[in-house]
């Protein structure tokens, strides 16, 4: 029987269904899921407590495959909890420490977004016309911070089919008092010639500086390159993928057909298959800078951010919770 608490299972379901979405928000929600698992565990030994948290980590990890923030958030939490559990037999103390570890991740994430806003806002000048894409808290923070600093600019926001996250961005910008244009995705190349620079978020960044973000981002980058605009990516440093240091590719999530076409239309066709990839990769050649909370870096410096965080990452560190799950589970 699963020892994963219903509240953690609900968090996992919300991530899977995209009720909770956005790479940073997914990571924080997953960490909250682990905090709940630790708090609600009835284990009487620290190893059993780790087992309960590990079961929760497995469920949360399997919700969405592309946003590296998710396994990185789980890894942050689990490796620290494991170190605490090895140091003591006091389960109540480890349970309390789990809350502190989770809170420190969430605070680090919130502060990183604020710092990205400060650093990125320096790239915005009065009179700029800016392009963004999808809905990224980190990219939006740059725009909102620049606006609060008194910069005058406007923003093009494509709808971002099939889930229309552009509407969330428009609502945020509107609330902040920033002038923006709603456009269809088809209008991106045509209107790119009217813009000055692009800011997007990231779900994952590979060791070679390639950026995985919402499907269509690489087309935005191509159009920006053609129009000779600067292309900036806003990403907290926990969105860099350590597994890509070992040569692993980041998996591109394919989601259900029903996000694109109603089921009755689909069943009326005999020879049609829907492909719904959720992300694409923008190569480093199309990216002028990645703005992290530590400063802006050229995409080619992604490997040094990874090395600072993980050293020379080895595959045993990939899913540290797995070794705590009994084989029968």
Which residue number, 12 or 94, has a Cβ lying nearer to ligand RI2? Answer: 12
Q: What angle in degrees, to the nearest 10, is found between the helix axes of 91-121 and 69-87?
A: 140
Which residue number, 136 or 237, has a Cβ lying nearer to ligand RI2? Answer: 136
Per-residue contact string for residues 177-216; x = within reach of ligand RI2 by CB under 6 A: -----------------------xxxx---------xx--
Contacting range for ligand RI2; rule: CB under 6 A; set: 53-61, 117-125, 133-141, 263-271: 133-141
Residues between 242 and 281 with contacts to ligand RI2, criterion CB under 6 A: 278
Whether 203 is catalytic is yes
Whether 28 is catalytic is no
Under the binding rule (CB under 6 A), the answer on residue 145 touching ligand RI2 is no
Q: Give the integer Cα–Cα distance in Å for 106 and 91.
A: 23
Q: Give the integer Cα–Cα distance in Å for 270 and 255.
A: 20
Given 196, 203, 225, 288, the catalytic residue: 203
Residues 6+ apart with CB under 8 A from 107: none
* Torsion angles phi and psi, residue 124, rounded to 5: -105, 130
Q: What SS3 class is residue 234? A: strand
Per-residue contact string for residues 25-44; x = within reach of ligand RI2 by CB under 6 A: x-------------------
What DSSP string runs through 42-64?
Answer: --SSHHHHHHHHHHHHHHHHTS-
Under the binding rule (CB under 6 A), the answer on residue 101 touching ligand RI2 is no
Asked if 41 and 53 count as a contact pair (C-beta separation under 8 A), the reply is: yes
CB of 132 to ligand RI2, least distance (A): 9
The residue with tokens 């060791």 is: 207
Under the binding rule (CB under 6 A), the answer on residue 21 touching ligand RI2 is yes
Distances (CA, A) of 169 to 126, 135, 188: 21, 5, 16
Asked if 35 and 94 count as a contact pair (C-beta separation under 8 A), the reply is: no
CB of 190 to ligand RI2, least distance (A): 22
CB of 141 to ligand RI2, least distance (A): 8
Which residue number, 115 or 202, has a Cβ lying nearer to ligand RI2? Answer: 202
Catalytic residue numbers? 134, 203
Residues found near ligand RI2 in the complex (CB under 6 A) = 21-25, 134, 136-138, 165, 200-203, 213-214, 278
């Amino acid at each position: 029987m699963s020892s994963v608490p219903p509240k953690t299972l609900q968090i996992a379901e919300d991530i899977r269904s995209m009720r909770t979405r956005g790479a940073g928000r997914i990571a924080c929600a997953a960490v909250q899921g682990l905090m709940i698992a630790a708090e609600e565990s009835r284990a009487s030994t620290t190893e059993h407590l780790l087992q309960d948290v590990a079961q929760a980590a497995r469920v949360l990890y399997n919700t969405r495959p592309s946003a590296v923030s998710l396994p990185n958030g789980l890894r942050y939490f689990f490796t620290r909890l494991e170190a605490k559990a090895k140091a003591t037999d006091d389960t109540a103390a480890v349970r309390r420490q789990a809350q502190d570890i989770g809170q420190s991740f969430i605070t680090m994430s919130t502060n990183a977004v604020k710092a990205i806003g400060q650093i990125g806002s320096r790239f915005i000048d009065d009179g700029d016309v800016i392009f963004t894409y999808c809905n990224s808290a980190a990219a939006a923070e740059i725009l909102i911070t620049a606006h609060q600093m008194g910069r005058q600019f406007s923003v093009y926001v494509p709808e971002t089919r099939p889930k229309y996250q552009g509407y969330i961005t428009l609502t945020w910008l509107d609330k902040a008092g920033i002038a923006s244009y709603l456009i269809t995705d088809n209008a991106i190349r045509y209107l790119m010639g009217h813009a000055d620079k692009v800011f997007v978020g990231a779900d994952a960044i590979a060791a070679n500086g390639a950026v995985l973000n919402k499907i269509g981002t690489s087309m935005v980058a191509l159009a920006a390159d053609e129009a000779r605009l600067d292309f900036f990516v806003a990403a907290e440093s926990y969105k860099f993928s350590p597994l890509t240091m070992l040569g692993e590719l980041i998996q591109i999530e394919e989601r259900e057909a029903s996000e694109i076409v109603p089921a009755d239309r689909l069943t009326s066709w005999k020879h049609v298959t829907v492909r719904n990839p959720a992300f694409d990769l923008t190569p480093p050649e199309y990216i002028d800078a990645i703005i992290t909370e530590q400063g802006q870096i050229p995409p080619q410096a992604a490997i040094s951010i990874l090395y600072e965080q993980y050293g020379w990452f080895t595959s045993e560190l990939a899913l540290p919770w797995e070794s705590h799950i009994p084989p029968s589970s």
